[in-house]
Amino acid sequence: MESSAGSKENLIDQKITYMDLNKLIESVKNPHGKFNGNEIEYVLRALDSENPENKKFPWVQKFEEVFAEKVGSKYAIAVNSGTSGLHAALYAAGVGPGDEVIQPSVTVVMDAYVTIHMGATPVFVDIDPESWNIDAKKIEEKITPKTKAIIVVSLYGLPVDIDPILEIAKKHNIIVIDDSAETTMSLYKGEVAATKAHIGVFSFEKSKHMTSGSEGGMMITNDEKLATLSRKFAGIGYKGLTASAGRTSLAASIYQDPDYERFDTIGLNYRMNAITAAVGLAQFERIDFLVERRKKVGEMFLDAIKGCSWIKSQVVPDHSVHTYFTFGLLYLGLQEKGISWKEFYDRYKAKGGDGFYACWANPYLEPSLKGKKMGDQVFAKGLCPIAEDYQKKIMAFKSNYRDLDEAREKTRILKELIDEIGR
């Protein structure tokens, strides 16, 4: 199909006329819509880059500055995904071939992947049976002279108890990276989760507390050196990049000279683009509202399971605020009621529930890693017994309802099913 600059053809099934576009905008901005803030306006301004009023607006830099100020961090580096941020964080931490990176055994596999891509070995630690986060008491026994970093994961919106981990890290001169992909604006001892770690990493993937469209991420740190290294690695290694947003200002006569050398770091292109930043900035303007809504849904689920002896939730310490990226339950119904995980799932769905997710496979038991030997570890069953047991029992319920009446109905159904079985 040929087209020209003046053609009205497009490559989607339904052609959008001017009137249809207005209806589309109205649909996006409906009260229960995901992008009913300033997302459309900001995206259009970012696209209108030939307009002198919009041409030089630094969308990515603005997003970084607003994010850093809100969470209370000196530096923020926008990247194209949380995984990219983890990769850059390991680079900044100096992780390389032959090193080891300690990490939890209940999380997605990406923490292990970025470790392996750095030539290092992921070393898995079992979880705390109450919080389901990495067990700080079991970390030190896994530290060796090769240990260069610790990745902690604040699971499902519950901040990891990071102070004792930081004490261990200080003792052994190790960098701590907080994978807070699921914990945007959760609080730990009055501070935003991930701000106490040497480097924190957030995700803006479409299911998270906020999104920058479909993918995106943000790194934070209070350390200028770590910020500079992270930004350079994620920015193709441009030597003009600094810890703060943007590059150092150079006269055109300098960077247009044939003798000008551009790159001093071997990096990758993990940069966030302007459109993504525009969406993220608009979403972040409403982050308090978005997070509070998830917390309300979490409270509904807690009410639904109250008094049930065979369903447990994460234990939330008094010093932490859970923001419920998802509502996780530990299901003990098979042992206590003779009802399997799958049977409970089917009965909840049959009554009109949304269903729920199982926990990801333990990273070292994913097909890509299972059976491999790295360092002194063989990635096989038995490596982290508590994590492996919990993985088979965790139920992860949807919490990102934009209509709280719908959330009330789904949690009512759960409560009704539990009552039928007997608490």
What CATH number does the domain located at 287-421 have? 3.90.1150.10
Which CATH number fits the domain 55-284, given the four candidates 2.30.30.90, 3.40.630.10, 3.30.497.10, 3.40.640.10?
A: 3.40.640.10
Element (H, E) at 101: strand 100-104
pLDDT single digits (tens) 388-414: 999 999 999 999 999 999 999 999 999
**384 touches 127 (CB < 8 A):** yes
Residue 214: count of CB within 10 angstroms of its CB? 12
User: In Å, what is the CA distance from 414 to each residue of 117, 216, 324, 352?
Assistant: 42, 33, 17, 9
pLDDT surpasses 60 at 248: no
pLDDT single digits (tens) 6-18: 555 666 666 555 5
3-state DSSP call for residue 194? coil
Residue 350: count of CB within 10 angstroms of its CB? 10
pLDDT surpasses 50 at 304: yes
pLDDT surpasses 90 at 133: yes
3-state DSSP call for residue 200? strand
pLDDT surpasses 70 at 250: no
* Average pLDDT of every residue of the chain: 93
Backbone angles phi, psi at 419, to 5 degrees: -65, -40
The closest of 158, 392, 179, 194 to 298, measured between CA atoms, is 158
pLDDT single digits (tens) 312-341: 999 999 999 999 999 999 999 999 999 999
Q: What is the pLDDT of residue 1?
A: 45
Element (H, E) at 217: strand 217-221
pLDDT surpasses 90 at 96: yes
pLDDT single digits (tens) 280-298: 999 999 999 999 999 999 9
The residue type at 316: V
Q: Alpha helix locations (H) across 155-284?
A: 163-172, 224-234, 252-255, 274-284
Q: What is the pTM of this model?
A: 0.93
pLDDT single digits (tens) 65-80: 999 999 999 999 999 9
pLDDT band for position 251 (cuts 50, 70, 90): low
Q: Residue 113: which residues within 8 A CB-CB, separation 6 or more?
A: 83
Domain boundaries, the chain: 55-284, 287-421
For residues 124 and 126, give the distance between their C-alpha atoms in angstroms, rounded to a whole number: 7
Element (H, E) at 218: strand 217-221
Q: Residue 378: which residues within 8 A CB-CB, separation 6 or more?
A: 371, 372
For residues 220 and 202, give the distance between their C-alpha atoms in angstroms, rounded to a whole number: 8
Element (H, E) at 148: strand 147-153
Q: 287-293: which pairs have CB atoms within 8 A and are 24 or more residues apart?
A: 287/70, 287/184, 287/185, 287/209, 287/210, 288/185, 290/209, 290/210, 291/184, 291/185, 291/209, 291/323, 293/401, 293/402, 293/404
Mean pLDDT confidence for 228-243: 94
**202 touches 218 (CB < 8 A):** yes
pLDDT single digits (tens) 338-395: 999 999 999 999 999 998 999 999 999 999 999 999 988 899 999 999 999 999 999 9
Instruction: Lowest mean pLDDT of 55-64, 81-90, 219-228, 355-364, name the range.
Output: 55-64
Q: What is the pLDDT of residue 237?
A: 94
Give the pair of three-digit tokens for residue 330: 């530990």
DSSP code per residue over 347-415: HHHHTT----EEPPPPGGGSTTTTT-EETTEE-STTSSHHHHHHHTTEEEE----S-HHHHHHHHHHHH
Q: What is the pLDDT of residue 332?
A: 98
pLDDT single digits (tens) 147-206: 999 999 999 999 999 999 999 999 999 999 999 999 999 999 999 999 999 999 999 999
For residues 412 and 228, give the distance between their C-alpha atoms in angstroms, rounded to a whole number: 50
For residues 149 and 66, give the distance between their C-alpha atoms in angstroms, rounded to a whole number: 28
Note whether 55-284 and 287-421 share their fold: no
Q: What is the pLDDT of residue 52?
A: 81
Mean pLDDT confidence for 87-94: 98
Q: What is the pLDDT of residue 63?
A: 97
